[in-house]
Amino acid sequence: MQLSLPLDELPILLIVRHRLQAIMGPVPELLFLNPMSQLVFAMLSKRTRDETAGRVFQRLQWRYPSWQRFLNAAEDDIRKIIWPVTDWQDKLREIRRMLTLVKAQRGSFDLTFLAGWRVEQAIAWLRRFDGVGPEVAATVMNFSSIHARCLPVDRHLLRVGYRMRLTPSPKDYDRGFDCYERLIPDSWGAHDLDALQYYLKRHSREICTRANPACNRCVLANLCPRVGLPS
């Protein structure tokens, strides 16, 4: 289906997704973890490549098949697995603290109850824990089995959004999340946001890179007034 309306009559994110989808093809099938597993994985992934965090997370799951066993384990044993992620000491402390508080407050490590809450309420609850910002909280709501209508805004989306003047800063996750939320078409559901996140993240890695972005090959170039903006 071709877009035929004038650009200024279409939601900007609809145009962005349509153009990126045309060159990148369909979104790969996603694996949705349970909410607690997604929360731990997201906390591990901060400032760490997804591939590295994924390998660490898989080893943790194999070594500690329950979160209680993870909590009971000696820190030195966990260190042998978790050390490849950035700031592993801080992340280990934050994850263990979060698990302890969830167990104390809810009686288990099950976070599926968040599916019955409004997204804003659930994100606010998750953000009470150290190490859980808007990006991590949003991944729990969208990338887990809850699969709520929520867009995880990471550094890739912040960079593209800033260069396109959709967000005011390439580093402010809170304002970036709010800005993207206001631009999401009302008709979009969780799958639409999965797709947008995938396309923008890939675009950031392949074209709109931190250094030397390939603006001459960018299908969004005529939408992007980045001239004069720092990279």
144-161 pLDDT, tens per residue?
A: 999 999 999 999 999 999
pLDDT greater than 90 at residue 175: yes
So what's the pLDDT on residue 228? Answer: 44
Q: What band does 30 get if pLDDT is binned at 50, 70 and 90? A: confident
Average pLDDT over the chain, rounded to an integer: 92
Nearest to 112 by CA among 192, 29, 191, 33: 33
Q: What are the structure tokens assigned to 47, written together?
A: 């400032």
Q: What are the structure tokens assigned to 61, written together?
A: 């799951």
Do 57 and 17 fall into the same domain? no
Type of residue found at 47: R
CA dihedral sign, ordered 146, 143, 172, 126: positive
Residue 228 lies in a domain: no
Q: Which of 123, 143, 163 is the last residue of a domain?
A: 143
pLDDT greater than 60 at residue 213: yes
Q: What are the structure tokens assigned to 162, written together?
A: 């800033």
Give me the mean pLDDT over the 178-192 stretch.
95
Q: Nearest-5° angle of CA 137, CA 142, CA 144?
A: 90
Do 129 and 176 fall into the same domain? no
Q: What is the pTM of this model?
A: 0.88
So what's the pLDDT on residue 50? Answer: 87
Q: What is the CATH number of the domain that holds 117?
A: 1.10.340.30
pLDDT greater than 60 at residue 63: yes
Q: Which of 120, 143, 166 is the last residue of a domain?
A: 143
Residue 54 lies in a domain: yes
DSSP state of 46: T
SS3 call for 49? coil
Distance CA 201, CA 195 (A): 10
Do 135 and 49 fall into the same domain? yes
Give me the mean pLDDT over the 5-29 stretch.
86
Q: What are the structure tokens assigned to 171, written together?
A: 């580093």
Distance CA 87, CA 47 (A): 9
Split into its structural domains, the chain has a count of 2
Nearest to 210 by CA among 173, 168, 156, 161: 156
Contacts of 65 (CB under 8 A, 6+ apart): none
Do 167 and 194 fall into the same domain? yes
Which domain range does residue 16 map to?
A: 7-28+151-223
Please give the distance of CA 183 from its chain centroid, rounded to a whole number.
17
Contacts of 95 (CB under 8 A, 6+ apart): 40, 43, 44, 131
Q: What band does 4 get if pLDDT is binned at 50, 70 and 90? A: very low
